[in-house]
Amino acid sequence: MSDLQTLMLTRSGGVLHVTLNQPATRNALSQQMVVELRELAAQCMADAGLRCIVLRGARGNFCAGGNFADFQQMMQVQAPAEGEDPIAVANREFGRMLQDWQALPQVVIAVVEGAAMGGGLGLVAIADFALAEGGAQFAMPETGIGLPPAQIAPFVALRIGQSQTRHLALTAARLDGWQALEAGLVSEVLEGAAELDVALQKSLRAVLRCAPRALASTKAILLQRDAAGFDATLDFAAQQFAKALRNGDAAEGVSAYTGKRAAAWVEQPPEAA
């Protein structure tokens, strides 16, 4: 791919290293990044010589989630009298990107440092396995700013189950690397970039010892059971996301977050009798 604005690619034999490269926003998922990730997935799908993809973030952060500037622009788009809401359409594109990456025949390894929030957690969930630094932070913070984790929730639930996903989504809780390991989000936790790189090389050697077509078939078998229902679920989720951006909660949540204040709906629980 040429003219990439948000990704940095390095190819070594059958291994492609993909770096989310928007460090000023902690590699937040802008609409442009989603477009480039979808285009890259299409190219990888057709690349018979590619065997493994390593997904990482630039300058110590994996991905901080959605881009607030995009959210604020979406809130200015008027809802149509008829037809699909453009907010739902844009949100659904993010889900399609996750579906594209989940369906790749190559082994996808996420290497997580710093923030893996919201959409970044979705990218971790679609990876075949993830390596994390102990101090990395994993969260589904959307409900704290008035939004549902619309497109990522089904992928996270597929990865760690309904119970764990409900806890993360309904409390906006943060997990460090070790807690993410216990939850099943990541496969291995290391301390520091040097240890992460050693573990990554070990994982790459293991993957490259396996037959590529057998790996692709194995992935297809494991995903077959759940693939059919994903489209309808993600379509519904996109509609719920659009409603949340239009009902005022997201505007208040983003304003509270950027203003470092409590949102209007925040209250203290009653004291126990």
For residue 15, pLDDT over 90 is answered with: yes
pLDDT tens for 169-187 read 999 999 999 999 999 999 9
Query: Do the domain assignments include residue 22?
Result: yes
- 165, 157 in Cβ contact below 8 A? yes
Query: Do the domain assignments include residue 143?
Result: yes
Could you list the residue range(s) of the whole structural domain that residue 141 is in?
7-193
In this structure, how many other beta carbons lie within 10 angstroms of the beta carbon of residue 81? 5
Neighbouring-strand partners of residue 226: none
Secondary structure (3-state) at 62:
coil
Domain count for the chain: 1
Phi, psi torsion values for 53, nearest 5 degrees: -125, 130
- 23, 56 in Cβ contact below 8 A? no
Query: Could you report how far apart the first and last alpha carbons of the chain are, in Å?
Result: 63
CATH of the domain at 189: 3.90.226.10
Query: Do the domain assignments include residue 261?
Result: no
Residue 116 is predicted with a pLDDT of 98
Query: Do the domain assignments include residue 14?
Result: yes
Pick the more confident residue, 105 or 273: 105
Query: Do the domain assignments include residue 258?
Result: no
pLDDT tens for 193-214 read 999 999 999 999 999 999 999 9
pTM for the predicted model, two decimal places: 0.94
CB within 8 A of 254, min separation 6: which ones? 68, 71, 72, 145, 146
For residue 1, pLDDT over 70 is answered with: no
| Rounded CA separation 96/73 (Å) | 21
Query: Do the domain assignments include residue 253?
Result: no
Helix axes 31-45, 86-102, angle to 10 degrees: 40
| Rounded CA separation 58/17 (Å) | 12
Unique residue bearing structure tokens 């969930």: 125
Residue 74 is predicted with a pLDDT of 77
Query: Do the domain assignments include residue 90?
Result: yes
